[in-house]
Amino acid sequence: MIMSAGDIVTASYNGFEGEPKIGIFLIIYNERDDRKYTSGHTNINCVKITTNNFLGNSYVVRLRPGDGNLDKDCIINLSKVHVLAKTQIHKKIGHLNSQIMLNVFKELREFNNEVERQVIQNMQ
């Protein structure tokens, strides 16, 4: 299965207590597609897509029914990046359009800027 940024997939992962779960994820980076990355690993960076709205408004992109072939209102949580092995991915269920992906990368950039701010602050 060929996977790239913007693909929505189902995958196995471990929950907070280490229990096995299956969830819906948005692929934001595939090591295989990176021309600078030469190790041959098949790790994929993903962010969780959830219908749970308790996360508030920080570093999220909201999806409407039909976006990426999803049938419910969902949110993409950009502050929770998961690294999954290709073997953990079950199937591709959709793909987000370029406008939504621009919003995803904007929010991801804002999250990374906050991470950088905190790191620099703690180094002083």
Per-residue pLDDT of the chain (124 residues; tens, 9 = 90+): 778 899 999 999 987 788 899 999 999 988 777 666 666 667 888 999 988 766 566 899 999 999 999 999 999 999 888 999 888 999 999 999 999 999 999 999 999 999 999 999 988 8
Copy the structure tokens of residue 31: 């090591």
Using only the alpha carbons of the chain, give its radius of gyration.
15
- Give pLDDT, residue 98: 95
pLDDT of residue 54: 63
- pLDDT given for residue 53 in this prediction: 66
SS3 content of the chain, % helix, strand, coil (to 5): 30, 40, 30
Kindly state the tokens that stand for 95.
Answer: 């793909």
- The tally of domains found in the chain comes to 1
**Dihedral Cα 30, 31, 34, 40, nearest 10 deg:** -140
Report how far residue 76's alpha carbon sits from residue 12's, in angstroms, rounded to the nearest whole number: 17
What is the domain extent for residue 67?
Answer: 7-123
Q: Would you state the pLDDT for residue 29? A: 87
pLDDT for the residue 39: 64
Strand 89-95, strand 60-63: pairing = unpaired
Question: Cβ atoms within 10 A of the Cβ of 2, count?
Answer: 8
Is 62 among the domain residues?
yes
Q: Looking at the domain assignment, is residue 2 inside a domain?
A: no
Q: How far is 114 from 120, CA to CA, in rounded Å?
A: 10
pLDDT of residue 43: 85
CATH of the domain at 45: 2.30.30.110
CA distance 7 to 2: 10
Is 1 a member of any domain? no
Type of residue at 99 = Q
